[in-house]
Chain A
Amino acid sequence: MSLVSLDQVHKYYGENHVLKGVDLKVEAGEVVSIIGRSGSGKSTLLRCMNGLEEYQKGAVIVDNQSVENDDYKLRLLSRSVGMVFQNFNLFPHMTVGENVMLATKLVMKKSSAESEMLAKELLEKVGLADKFSAYPGNLSGGQQQRVAIARSLAMSPKVLLCDEITSALDPELVGEVLKVLEKLKQEGMTLILVTHEMNFARDVGDRVVFMNQGRVWETGQSDEVFSNPQTEELQSFLAAVR
């Protein structure tokens, strides 16, 4: 069984048919990049994988759990699926350490000492060991995003969803965040990212999914998709972003 499996997923915003029957399977340890024009449904697709968006038809199964609009089930699912957002969404009234420890204490019911050890270890991993007591507002965008990654990892998820996590960053800060993702890949983390970083998708990603008009338009191994796009739509998209 794949770690993430979407079967004929349809999503409507009122009259607007955003996802038109999407099939997608992601195996454990894979790094999958979802690319496409804005409005092609790529973020919506990602948000269907952890229940932030409802879908109207089809099935989404992650880590053997069906993703449904049920608060209790979604809370259980949150232990398998982590998410990092474009705008970080850190809690500004808490320190970096408190941000990372909040869910380990409240949801995983770990003790304070255990949570603190884990938080320090994770912050060390993202290169922010010295920022434990700082407030998010005093960090750069790149640092904030790395805290957000650490916060997600604290739940030890099996798959990490990244929704355009470098899009709000100044260009010189993108690298430090991508480096963390690379490290996670080496450790075997499953990553599904909606991204505009084509170089990253090509060099680090295993597989690319090109979304167009609410469908998976083209998909394949990264190097192949980038060097030899089959459809006209992907060719023109790649030409536009390069």
Chain B
Amino acid sequence: MVQFTDWDILKNLLLAARWTILLSLLAFAGGGLFGLILTLLRSMRSKITTRIIQTYVEIFQGIPLLMQLFLTFFGLSLIGIEVDAWSAAVISLTLFSSAFFHDIWRGCIEALPKGQWEACRTLGLTYLQTMRYVIVPQAMRMSIAPTVGFSVQIVKGTALASVIGFVELTKAGTMINNAVFEPFKVFALVAVLYFLICFPLSVLARHLEKKNHVAR
């Protein structure tokens, strides 16, 4: 039987952590982009798009991410589209985080006083000018802290991708433990690695929040 030194364990976990980080980044970028599109569409206040987007958000916020992963992974192959664990994880996490990002950003836009819109209207600005010069800059300032905060949720959410066979940090931990039978040591290391990824993000979120409060 192959012997694993502690360094071997750590090295393998670190290698797997790359995939956790990459998956998080892809989900953050994809979810952010898609969430942004949803937010802009919604701010146009058409009743039908609002209704559709609302339903979308409710569905993705109301179903556990685990089920979303299962449904994407197994569901797509059922209708003839073969997806590997990678694609399924990226698609699920993107859809999942877009629903939350949209909700965060919509909240920030709606938190702005109605008078900002009215002032722009009386000055003759178009919708796009209003968004670009007045609404988005203010909403963005407000949204930085909760956005960074939610990215911590994304990182932790990637752990669920292990159940569809995607080898990231959690899955690697499970596999290594199956070889070395030292669950406490292995999973403690896994936990520490997650913490080292998430903690700086939390600190950043808190720092940005404080800075924002002072600016007001």
- A91-B119 contact given A102-B133, A106-B129, CB 8 Å threshold: yes
- Across the interface, which residues of B come within 8 angstroms of A102, CB to CB? 123, 125, 133-134
Bound-state CA distance A81–B122 (Å) is 8
Which stretch, A54-62, A72-80, A215-223, touches the partner chain B? Answer: A72-80
| Closest beta carbon of chain A to B121's beta carbon, Å | 7
CB proximity of A34 to chain B, nearest CB, Å: 17
Asked if B118 contacts A74 (CB within 8 A), the reply is no
Tell me, rounded to whole Å, the shortest Cβ–Cβ distance linking A125 to chain B: 18
Contact A106 B133 (CB under 8 A): yes
> Which listed residue, A71, A87, A152, touches B115 by the CB 8 Å rule?
A87
CB distance from A139 to the nearest CB of B (A): 15
Size category, B interface: 10 to 19
Q: Which of B115, B127, B137, B138 contacts A89 (CB 8 A)?
A: B115
B contact residues around A90 at 8 Å (CB)? 119
Contact B127 A71 (CB under 8 A): yes
B188 to chain A minimum Cβ distance, whole angstroms, is 46
- A102-B133, A106-B129, A151-B123 known; A91-B118 Cβ under 8 A: no
How far, in angstroms, from A75 to B121 measured CA to CA in the complex? Answer: 7
By the criterion CB–CB under 8 Å, are B124 and A107 in contact? yes
Whether A52 and B127, one on each chain, are in contact in the complex, defined by CB atoms closer than 8 angstroms, is: no
- Bound: A93/B138 CA distance, A: 7
Q: Report the Cα distance A155→B125, complex, angstroms.
A: 12
Q: A89-B115, A93-B137, A102-B133 are in contact. Are A152 and B122 (CB under 8 A)?
A: yes
Give residues 80-125 of A contacting B (CB, 8 Å). Answer: 81-83, 85, 87, 89-93, 102-103, 106-107
**Can you pick out 22 interface pairs between chain A and chain B where the beta carbons lie within 8 Å of each other?**
A50-B122, A75-B124, A78-B122, A78-B124, A83-B122, A85-B118, A87-B113, A87-B115, A89-B113, A89-B116, A91-B134, A92-B138, A93-B137, A93-B138, A93-B141, A103-B124, A106-B125, A106-B133, A107-B123, A137-B216, A152-B122, A152-B123
Which positions in B face A, CB cutoff 8 Å? 113, 115-116, 118-119, 121-127, 129, 133-134, 137-138, 141, 216
Give the top 10 A-B pairs by smallest Cβ distance, nearest first.
A78-B124, A89-B115, A103-B123, A89-B119, A83-B122, A107-B124, A75-B124, A93-B137, A106-B129, A93-B138
